[in-house]
Amino acid sequence: MKPTWTGVYPAVTTKFKENGELDVPGFIKNIEFQIESGVSGIIIGGSLGESSTLSAEEKLQLVEALQPYREKVPVIMNIAESSTVRAIEAAKAAEANGADGLMLLPPLLYKADADETVEYFKAVAAATSLPILLYNNPVDYKIEITIPMFEKLVDVKNIEAVKESTRDLTNITRMRNAFADRFKILGGVDTLSLEPLLLGADGLVAGLVCAFPKETVIMYQLAKAGKIDEAVKLYRWFMPLLEMDIHPKLVQYIKLCEVYTGIGTEYVRAPRKILSGDERAKAISTIESALSTRPVF
């Protein structure tokens, strides 16, 4: 299924067994709950999916595991590489193994300048027919995709959308003023989920959706239906949980949330460790408080 880049796209966690091996049945259990809750696509192998600990083969194994679900939702594979050659290889492999789209980060490690970054995007796009969502997150990845850079990408037809994670909400209006609807825009920071939708974003790429998909989808639907008061009420309930998405240990926090909602496990790959001590107790307190007042739909 071709992605429309509208609605809610969970950047899903990767499930592991206690010994560190992929837990494909656990992964599928979460995916099925996401689909039942009304998400519009699945993004695998992102930072929340512990991309840096996954081999290229494991990412493709997850793509393969999702093949039976492609009639319901598009499967998007993340590409986060430090070289153009490896990014192209990953794009070709994703397409060959049944992915429906790509999320593409700027080059990692080396801080490429604007021209280098644009050429990187063009080279990867030219190597595949898959639709591409660019990930604009200068806070974490140190490279911003600016309006002048997007101007050089307008004619690259399969670059269709951007995950807007600059934390600068004015970028949504600037993008619309510059390009109208040429690029779909998806909010990419959980603590700025509602605001992008009210400013005209087409959807969300979210993290806490992994544990709370129904609430995320309903907030999106309320916002798009103009039911602002209801959306704001839900957003305020959600915010203490959404704060977990902007923490360095977002993976551990969100996996702990998944345990409490019954659709995941806590196992992570080193160097990450499962939360413990006061940090764990504080996280559990936040989760339990939210669950005690969880909206009923």
Residue 69 known to be catalytic: no
How confident is residue 128, by pLDDT bands cut at 50, 70 and 90? Answer: very high
Q: Which fold has domain 7-292?
A: TIM Barrel (3.20.20)
Percent share of the chain, pLDDT over 90? 99
Q: Per the residue annotation, which of 15, 163, 184, 255 is the catalytic one?
A: 163
Average pLDDT over residues 8-14: 98
Contacts of 20 (CB under 8 A, 6+ apart): 267, 269, 270
Residue 152, class by beta-carbon neighbours within 10 Å (0-12 exposed, 13-18 middle, 19+ buried)? middle
Of the pLDDT bands very low, low, confident and very high (cuts 50, 70, 90), residue 297 is confident
Query: 9, 59, 120, 135: which is the annotated catalytic residue?
Result: 135
Q: Which two tokens stand for residue 59?
A: 């990412």
Q: pLDDT tier at 116 (50, 70, 90 boundaries)? A: very high
Residue 15: CA atoms inside 13 Å, Cβ hemisphere, count? 18
Report whether 247 contacts 235 (CB < 8 A).
no
Calculate ∠ Cα 38-187-163, nearest 5°: 100
What is the rounded distance in angstroms from the CA atom of residue 259 to the CA atom of residue 263? 6
At 45, the pLDDT band (50, 70, 90 cuts) reads: very high
Residue matched to tokens 């939360």: 275
Extract the tokens encoding 46. Answer: 């992102």
- Peptide bond connecting 148 to the previous residue in cis, omega within 30 degrees of 0: no
Residue 52 has pLDDT above 90, yes or no: yes
Position 201 scores a pLDDT of: 98
**256 with 207: CB under 8 angstroms?**
no
Note if 122 is an active site residue.
no
78 DSSP β-pair partners: 103
Residue 108 clears pLDDT 90, i.e. is over it:
yes
Rounded mean pLDDT of 173-200? Answer: 98
